[in-house]
Structure 1
Amino acid sequence: MTGILPPDIANAPSPEGAAKRLGEALGLNGPAPMEATRRALSEALYAKALWSSRKIPALRDQLLAAAGQMRISGGADDTPTNAQLVAKSIKGALKWGMEGLKPAAPWVIQRRLGACLSCPHNVPAPDKLVYRGAKVAVGKDARICDACHCLINTKSAISTEHCPEKHPSQPELSRWEEPWVPPEKHPKGPW
């Protein structure tokens, strides 16, 4: 049991009962797939991502379809998994929402984008489920920062976001030429 799902799902008497209740809670026209149900019941990160996506059908359906493919932990590289990216973006969106959904000023966005365009961490978005979904909204040429795994165009427009990298010649500033904030204190979101 993950502690993320409601008790009627987490404590269902059978996997089939949990799948039926999860399907209802997610707004499906039947039970949730068994593989996704088992994973949601046993892995908190997947459960959190799935539960948080219940009002975003396209993302919910991608998470359900990829239940057997998504890597939750482990691996040789430090690239976050799809579930980790979804959880990270939800935290960032909640932080931004709690602070009034205020966009950054246009001149701030321009400065940030200029810094990102010349940054060595600016790379094409990898072929991961979450980024494929984001490309629908952002465009097929979506680029990310490989230091934080955020979508550059979106993150630079959010007032509460910070660049995780120090300026190369001014260590008290970030590459965005704003006061540097240690990454562990950043709102979490792959924008």
Structure 2
Amino acid sequence: MLAELEERLDGLEWEQARAAAAEYVGLPGPLPAPALRRAMVEDTYCFVLLAFRGNRSRLRELVEHPGNRPYELPEDSAPETAEAETETEAETETATATAGVANRSTAGLVVEAGKALNRWAAAGFRTVDPETYERRTAACAACPELTEPPVKWVYKVAMAKTGDDRVCGACGCVASRKARLVSEGCPRRDPADPGLTRWGEPFTTV
């Protein structure tokens, strides 16, 4: 995402960011979620949005462009409800991980979310089978780096909602969402077998 828009959204939650982005480019109402997700990942698309600030007809074409469809999520068609988020104190064993995630800049989190979304797109938006998902989430649940999320809208961006929004302190991702994606891997080595991740899969760097 270009710094010009990124600065406008820094510190906002997801719905606030949609409203602020629409206001900034000159559209009424919140910016469609797929358009904002695409702008977060594609600098060229973001640049064009900003280039047509105030030109509602061209902006409408851009936010309704078929190229935005890969960034649609099931929740986009559901009625929107206000969600209250509160800060949660981490447990003693995860305090360090929480601090690490909370101190990440929104810009940095956007970059990581964008990279994950690109990898997922390259893999055909495929998800893992139920057995793999259960194995991965069980490993995450037992990991000392699993922690409560900071209040940042970027955590609502790249994947669909799940019941567990706890975050991996190693990478900043929502663990239960990342575990579903065939394109993603655990960033930590298994202490008992450094050749594998804590998910029990070959360790690779992404």
TM value normalised by structure 1: 0.55
1:146 aligned partner, one-letter code: G
Aligned residue runs from structure 1 range 112-151, under 5 A: 112-131=136-155, 133=156, 138=161, 141-151=164-174
Stretches (4+) displaced over 6 A: 2-5, 22-25
Q: Cα gap change, 1:102/1:77 in structure 2, threshold over 3 Å: closer, same or farther?
A: closer
Tell me, yes or no, if the aligned pair for 1:147 and 1:164 is still in contact at 8 Å.
Answer: yes
CA distance in 2, matches of 1:127, 1:158: 23
Tell me, yes or no, if the aligned pair for 1:26 and 1:51 is still in contact at 8 Å.
Answer: no
Residue 84 of structure 1 corresponds to which residue in structure 2? 108
Residue 28 of structure 1 corresponds to which residue in structure 2? 27
Q: 1:30-67: CA deviations, max 9, x gaps?
A: 9xxxxxxxxxxxxxx9x95x929x758xxxxxxxxxxx
Residue 51 of structure 1 corresponds to which residue in structure 2? 46
TM superposition shift of 1:179: 0.4
Q: Number of residue pairs matched?
A: 129
TM superposition shift of 1:138: 2.6
Q: Cα gap change, 1:83/1:102 in structure 2, threshold over 3 Å: closer, same or farther?
A: same
Residue 202 of structure 2 corresponds to which residue in structure 1? 179
* 2:160 is the counterpart of 1:161: no
CA distance in 1, matches of 2:22, 2:199: 44
TM superposition shift of 1:28: 2.1
1:126 aligned partner, one-letter code: P
CA distance in 2, matches of 1:3, 1:145: 26
Q: Percent identity?
A: 32
Unaligned ranges ≥5, structure 1:
6-21, 31-44, 57-75, 187-191
Q: CA RMSD in A?
A: 3.9
- Which is bigger in relative contact order (C-alpha 8 A, separation at least 6)? 2
1:80 aligned partner, one-letter code: R
Q: 1:93-138: CA deviations, max 9, x gaps?
A: 122112211101111100000000000010011122323x46xx53
Q: Residue 101 of structure 1: SS of its match in structure 2?
A: coil
TM superposition shift of 1:163: 0.3
Unaligned ranges ≥5, structure 2:
6-20, 30-39, 50-62, 64-70, 72-98
1:130 aligned partner, one-letter code: V
TM value normalised by structure 2: 0.51
Q: Cα gap change, 1:27/1:99 in structure 2, threshold over 3 Å: closer, same or farther?
A: farther
Tell me, yes or no, if the aligned pair for 2:123 and 2:182 is still in contact at 8 Å.
Answer: no
CA distance in 1, matches of 2:149, 2:3: 32
